[in-house]
Amino acid sequence: MTLSLFDQFASPALLGIPLIAIALTFPWILLPSSTSRWLDNRLSTLQSWFLVRFTHQLLQPLNFGGHKWALVLTSLMVYIITLNLLGLLPYTFTPTTQLAMNLGLAVPLWLATVVLGLRNNPTNALGHLLPHATPTVLIPALIIIETISLFIRPLALGVRLTANLTAGHLLMQLIATAVFVLTSLMPPVAMITSVVLLLLTLLEMAVAMIQAYVFVLLLSLYLQENI
């Protein structure tokens, strides 16, 4: 069967049985859970240290009411970063390349921040739609612009993650195909291209981690405005 460039983004199935549920729950199986021991093993200790440091850094700008979101934001970060890094393995499906999944994460969480803001502090939430000291003539225009920018936020969140990962995977596949084809035709060029592929893979690992962090950081910023 001839594969196209975009077949790597198709939802995985084996003999007609969809494997998407396994793809989505795999990080849960991989990551160690805390035990009731006083001292865990090295991996669990390292994981706990990372989670505590990350949660502390993420929640520092938030007030006490925002600390309730610690579990949601930290688990979201770990989930996305694990899915992204696992997707870098060859022949592995990356669920975060699907726009449906990323919008499914972005829209409800963004909406929750907006509804929380309107419910708890409606004056501040509505007041943020008009910047301080705006000239009178520009008030209606800026309100409309800020409203549009408010509604574009979840789209931007979802599409940013999808586009970054999809583009990275496509680029890696293209360059890997080029290396494969050039190996028999021009081996020196193939060697240079394989060095480029190695550097690109390292870049994609960084992008995978950074995009997960950016997703969660932006959500915490939206929460900061509304809580």
Partner 1 sequence: MPTSPVKVRIPLTSFGHLITEVKKQLFGLEGPAAVKLTGLRKYFNSYTIQGRRNCVLATYSVIAVTAVAYFMHRQTKKEAQRDSTD
- The footprint of partner 1 (CB under 8 A) covers 122-124, 126-136, 139-140, 142-146, 149, 153, 218, 221-222, 224-225
**Cβ closest to partner 1, residue 18 vs residue 131:** 131
Q: Give the shortest CB-66-to-partner 1 separation in angstroms.
A: 15
The Cα–Cα gap between 161 and 215 comes to 7
Q: Which DSSP string do the residues of 125-184 spell out, in sequence order? A: HHHTTS-TT--GGGHHHHHHHHHHHHHHHHHHHHHHHHHHHHHHHHHHHHHHHHHHHHHH
**Cβ closest to partner 1, residue 153 vs residue 169:** 153
Q: Give the shortest CB-127-to-partner 1 separation in angstroms.
A: 4
**Cβ closest to partner 1, residue 11 vs residue 149:** 149
Q: Give the shortest CB-129-to-partner 1 separation in angstroms.
A: 5
**Cβ closest to partner 1, residue 93 vs residue 110:** 110
**Cβ closest to partner 1, residue 87 vs residue 117:** 117
Q: Give the shortest CB-131-to-partner 1 separation in angstroms.
A: 3
CA-wise closest residue to 160 among 225, 91, 84 = 84
Q: Give the shortest CB-158-to-partner 1 separation in angstroms.
A: 16
The Cα–Cα gap between 4 and 117 comes to 46
